Amino acid sequence: MAIDLLTPVAGPLPQLQCETDTGIDTVPLDQEVAFGSWQRAIPEAYWHLGAEELVARVRAARATLGERVVVLGHHYQREDIIQFADERGDSFMLAQYAASRPQSQYIVFCGVHFMAEAADILRAPHQTVILPNIEAGCSMADMASDPDVRSVWRELGEHFGGTGDIIPVTYMNSAASLKAFCGEHGGIVCTSSNAAKVLAWAFERGRRVFFFPDQHLGRNTAHAMGIPLEEMALWNWRQPAGRRGGLDAAALDRARVILWQGHCSVHQRFSLTQIEAARARYPGVRIVVHPECRFEVVQAADANGSTNFIADYVAKAPADAPIGVGTEINLVSRLAKEHPDRTVFCLDPVVCPCSTMYRVHPAYLVWVMESLVRGEVVNRIAVPDDVKQHARVALERMLTLR
Ligand code: SF4
């Protein structure tokens, strides 16, 4: 149920404001409205299982597989998945964790496609990475394809008379091929927790940074480092080749940061109006948002940072201060439950979960785990060796900064 932000309240605040506040009930896969557009190539026997049986069968498969399997859960996964996670965290932390568990031959990554790819790049040779639902992608990562990025790179080279002074930086939330592109072209990967360090590294090596796919993380980070907005240019990759991404030559010449016009469909929903409404209604409220939010939202917040930063911020905030959070609802909901002594609410009264993260339904987890029990690997994520080799270079450059 959505709660309006305009009506004054007396007494305790509602903890959250979304119909997903109390978690999403597990329904059989065939009753999920979006199942038709998810991975259908799962045996029909798994389509109709109810919540109790799903839980019992995941537990049974886990008990049989023991240490041979590790289940990872990204912060944005639904509760009926996160309950089975051996470790939860952000994408990079989980990939590193899996690589540090040599006893686990199978890494079941409950997250989205680029995360499983990162785990496959960093895994030990004897490990295998599995994504429960192969259709769990990321709309932001999909906004930057390998051919599009290479085409823009060529155009930048034509405009500037070469790319020797441009450092490509890709956000972790991108395809493995783009991490490889950065590895091949003197570039690097960043996460939302180390983006400032990564940009500083890049500016020691080049005059300009080409940042993809999330414009907001790039802009927010560069601005916090003192780069004015006039020295950032937004490249519209939907423009035909030869149109400089819709930019005029002077704007491009001025740019120290060339931002890809990509965004996260979840974080871009947060608005200044929501923050103003929360502040008007709850004096003393603290606002913390993810840096994938729009510039004006990050500017108006009290703090911004990665998912781990947000979790830490909530844990350390004074108990009497309500906290408005701008990130994916599953994490906000979990933080509210973990801190029943304080009021934690989502800034967006009608926010929905990340629709691609949500595609990891427990039926897929049962299917991939029971397949492993039978000695069969389904939904393996395997990054080609040449891509892996270059992507590792870009990831290792980032690792030296930590
Ligand atoms: S929350 Fe945004 S960036 Fe993260 S997986 Fe979903 S669409 Fe992609």
Q: Is the pLDDT of residue 21 over 50?
A: no
Contact 208, 222 (CB under 8 A): no
Edge-to-edge order in the sheet of strand 286-289? 303-304, 286-289, 323-326, 344-346
From 74, 173, 191, 352, mutation site for ligand 1 pocket: most ligand atoms within 8 A of C-beta: 173
Say if domain 141-265 classifies as CATH 3.40.50.
yes
- Lookup: tokens for 43: 């045996």
Q: Give the alpha-carbon dihedral of 280, 282, 283, 286, to 10 degrees.
A: -110
Contact 327, 344 (CB under 8 A): no
* Spacing, Cα 8 to ligand 1 middle (Å): 33
Which range is least confidently modeled, 10-19, 73-82, 160-169, 334-343? 10-19
pLDDT digits over 205-245, tens only? 999 999 999 999 999 999 999 999 999 999 999 999 999 99
Could you tell me if residue 128 is left (phi over 0), alpha (psi between -120 and 50 degrees) or otherwise beta? beta
Q: Is the bond leading into 340 cis (omega within 30 degrees of zero)?
A: no
- Percent helix, strand and coil across the chain, each rounded to 5? 45, 15, 45
- Residue 149 C-beta-side C-alpha neighbours within 13 Å: 27
Give the pLDDT score at 91: 87
pTM of the model: 0.92
The residues with which 325 forms a beta bridge, in sequence order, are 288, 346
Contact 392, 386 (CB under 8 A): no
Give the pLDDT score at 204: 98
Q: How far apart are CA 292 and CA 171, in angstroms?
A: 11
* Spacing, Cα 23 to ligand 1 middle (Å): 19
Q: Identify the band that residue 13 occupies on the pLDDT scale cut at 50, 70 and 90.
A: very low
Give the pLDDT score at 95: 85
Class of domain 267-346 as given by CATH: alpha beta
Residue-range domain boundaries for the chain: 29-137+357-384, 141-265, 267-346
DSSP code at position 67: G
Give the pLDDT score at 402: 61
Please provide the average confidence, as pLDDT, over all residues in the chain.
92
DSSP 124-177: -TT-EEE-SSTT---HHHHTS-HHHHHHHHHHHHHHHT-STTEEEEEESSS-HH
Q: Which CATH architecture has domain 29-137+357-384?
A: 3-Layer(aba) Sandwich (3.40)
The structure tokens 């031959």 sit at 105
Interacting residues of 28 by C-beta distance below 8 A, sequence separation 6+: 47, 48, 49, 50, 363
Q: Identify the band that residue 23 occupies on the pLDDT scale cut at 50, 70 and 90.
A: low
Ligand 1 atom at shortest distance from the alpha carbon of 111: 5
Q: Is the pLDDT of residue 97 over 80?
A: yes
Interacting residues of 240 by C-beta distance below 8 A, sequence separation 6+: none
- Lookup: tokens for 127: 């490990």
Interacting residues of 82 by C-beta distance below 8 A, sequence separation 6+: 73, 88, 110, 330, 334
Question: What percent of the chain shows pLDDT beyond 90?
Answer: 87
Pocket of ligand 1 (CB under 6 A): 76, 112, 138-140, 173, 264-266, 328, 354, 356-357
Q: Identify the band that residue 350 occupies on the pLDDT scale cut at 50, 70 and 90.
A: confident
| Nearest CA owner, ligand 1 atom 5 | 138
- Lookup: tokens for 363: 């039926």
Q: How far apart are CA 133 and CA 373, in angstroms?
A: 18
Q: Is the pLDDT of residue 18 over 90?
A: no
End-to-end CA distance of the chain: 42
* Spacing, Cα 140 to ligand 1 middle (Å): 6
Give the pLDDT score at 57: 98
Which H or E run contains 344?
A: strand 344-346
Q: How far apart are CA 180 and CA 388, in angstroms?
A: 7
* Spacing, Cα 73 to ligand 1 middle (Å): 14
Q: Identify the band that residue 319 occupies on the pLDDT scale cut at 50, 70 and 90.
A: confident
* Spacing, Cα 265 to ligand 1 middle (Å): 7
Q: How far apart are CA 110 and CA 76, in angstroms?
A: 10
**Domains 29-137+357-384 and 267-346 belong to one CATH topology:** yes
Q: Stretch 293-314: mean pLDDT, rounded? A: 97
Give the pLDDT score at 167: 98
Give the pLDDT score at 392: 96
Q: Stretch 153-168: mean pLDDT, rounded? A: 98
